[in-house]
Amino acid sequence: MPLTLSLRDLGAAAPLAIDLGGVVPQVVRDLDASAIARLEVRADGEPVRLGDVASVGGSSGDGTIECLGDFARVHRVAAGMTSGAIVVRGSVGRHAGAGMTGGTLTVEGSAGDWLAAEMIGGSIHVAGDAGDGIAGAFPGSAHGMRGGLVVVCGSVGSLAGMRLRRGIVAVGGDCGDAPAFEMRAGTVVVGGRIGSHPGLGMRRGSLVALSDTPVPPPTFVRGAAWSPAFLPLLLQRLARAGLRTAAEGVHAGCWRQWHGDGLTGGRGEILHRV
C-alpha cells in the first residue's frame, strides 16, 4: 500500500496555503508513518508538522505517495523529486514538480502556475488544466525546463515553455500568450488555440501548432511547406502518453514552417498544418 496523505478538516483554522516541499519519495522511503507525520512543512509561511495539516497512512516502501482529495491550496508537490511517483487524486497548487530530476507526477485534476518550472528530468501528466509559466524559468533564471516530458491534457496560461532549454511540453487544449518565449531549445506542442506573440525571442527549438494557425511575430520569416520526418514519431509518442489531440495530428501531412526569431539568430521554428 502506498503512502497516503489526506488534508485534515480544520474548519476556520485551515491554512490558506501549505508548502509540501521536501515531502518526496526519496526522503520518506525509509521512514514509518509516524516519522513522516513529524516532518516539517510550512502552512501560511509558518513551520508546522506534516501531521498537523494532513493525515498520514500506508507505507512509503514502494516509493509512491498518493495525495487524496483537493490539494489546490497545497504547493510545491513533487518539487525536487528525484525518483519514485506522486499521484494527486484531485487538483494541485503552484510549483508542482518544480526542479524535478526524475520520477513521475500524475495529477488527476488541474495544476496551478509554474508547473514543472526548471524541471530537469522525469515526467508529469496533468489530466486537467494548468496555469501560467509551465516548464518555464523563474524570474532572473536563464533557463526553464532542461529535460523530461510534461503533458497537460487541458489548457494552459501564458508563457508556456519560457526559456525552455530541453525536453517536451505538450498541451492538449488552448495556450495563452507568448508560448516558447525566449526558448533556447526543446519542443512545445499545442493542440488548441495559441495566444499572441508565439515564439517571441526564440533562439532554437520547435513550437508545433496541431490545429491553430498562429500569427508569428514580424521578426519570423515564412519558410517551406513540407512534412518533417520527426513529427509523426513525436506525435505518436505523445498519443501514447495520453494526449488525444496528438493522435489526431499524426497523419496531418504537410506543415508550414516559419523561421525565427530573427532578432535572436533565427534558428527556431514554428510549425502549423497547411
Q: Other C-beta atoms within 10 Å of 241: how many?
A: 16
Quote the percentage of the chain above a pLDDT of 70.
Answer: 99
Task: Evaluate whether residue 180 is within a structural domain.
Answer: yes
Give the per-residue pLDDT at 61: 85
Task: Evaluate whether residue 8 is within a structural domain.
Answer: no
Task: Evaluate whether residue 241 is within a structural domain.
Answer: yes
Confidence of residue 247 (pLDDT cuts 50, 70, 90): confident
3-state secondary structure of 53: helix
- Contact of 51 with 7, CB cutoff 8 Å: no
- Contact of 90 with 71, CB cutoff 8 Å: yes
Confidence of residue 245 (pLDDT cuts 50, 70, 90): confident
Task: Evaluate whether residue 93 is within a structural domain.
Answer: yes
Give the per-residue pLDDT at 1: 76
Give strand pairing partners of 194: 175
Number of domains in the chain: 1
What are the residue ranges of helices labelled H in 145-240?
230-240
> Which DSSP string corresponds to 91-103?
-B-TTTTTT--SS
Give the per-residue pLDDT at 13: 87
Confidence of residue 246 (pLDDT cuts 50, 70, 90): confident
Q: Other C-beta atoms within 10 Å of 159: how many?
A: 27
Domain that holds residue 89: 65-273
Give the per-residue pLDDT at 175: 98
pLDDT tens for 142-184 read 999 999 999 999 999 999 999 999 999 999 999 999 999 999 9
Task: Evaluate whether residue 55 is within a structural domain.
Answer: no
Task: Evaluate whether residue 28 is within a structural domain.
Answer: no
**Of 13, 44, 51, whose CA–CA distance to 23 is shortest?**
51
Cell of 43: 502552512
Give the per-residue pLDDT at 114: 98
Q: What is the CATH number of the domain that holds 231?
A: 2.160.20.60
Task: Evaluate whether residue 29 is within a structural domain.
Answer: no
Task: Evaluate whether residue 230 is within a structural domain.
Answer: yes
Q: Quote the longest CA-to-CA distance of the chain.
A: 62
Give the per-residue pLDDT at 196: 98
CA distance 31 to 134: 32
Residue position matching grid coordinates 495544476: 111
> Which DSSP string corresponds to 18-35?
EE-TT-SHHHHTT--HHH
Give the per-residue pLDDT at 109: 98
